[in-house]
A and B are shown apart, each in its own frame.
Chain A
Amino acid sequence: DVVMTQSPLSLPVTLGQPASISCSSSQSLVHSDGNTYLKWFQQRPGQSPRRLIYKVSNRDSGVPDRFSGSGSGTDFTLKISRVEAEDVGIYYCMQGTHWPGTFGQGTKVEI
């Protein structure tokens, strides 16, 4: 299985300041169809995961534009340009290129 490794696992943040989470995969996530199936999810306390980003950098509808995704191959990043209080939670990357889909360990973002 593809191993997804996130860092850091805990991220203290300051309101209004930027934050960044890294995710690396044990093999390239470029699919044979040319797409890279890397997603980011946010899980607020007591809630289901919510998809924020798909195919590396595509923001889902309703996701604030302070969230952005980037990267290629095996290294990916989720950035929050200015952290707001509602961004507290755990963030997971997930690859869907190789079967089975695998998640990172999660990064806990706290103020």
Chain B
Amino acid sequence: GESVGLHLPTLSVQEGDNSIINCAYSNSASDYFIWYKQESGKGPQFIIDIRSNMDKRQGQRVTVLLNKTVKHLSLQIAATQPGDSAVYFCAENPYNAGNMLTFGGGTRLMVKP
């Protein structure tokens, strides 16, 4: 069935390096995508979103890239800090699914000091 998934379940990076977290989606009806960060014991926290009419969007230290051709989404974190250690989820919203989000399985980012 249609799904959102992640290539790497765990990513370990050195503090100060850039991180790239990838996500593949298969629902061609999806036109809105969101990245969430979840720290241990907390609910997911919105990071950044992107609509399908864009291929790149930048926030503070984060950039989301969308490649609709290959149905691929990535989150880039610049100058990764220990506070970035968390599980990152991508989510998709098909245009015909109202407000319902479908979440991927998550990638754990571990930042080494």
* B is a partner of A: no
Which residues on B are within 8 Å of A, measured CB to CB? none
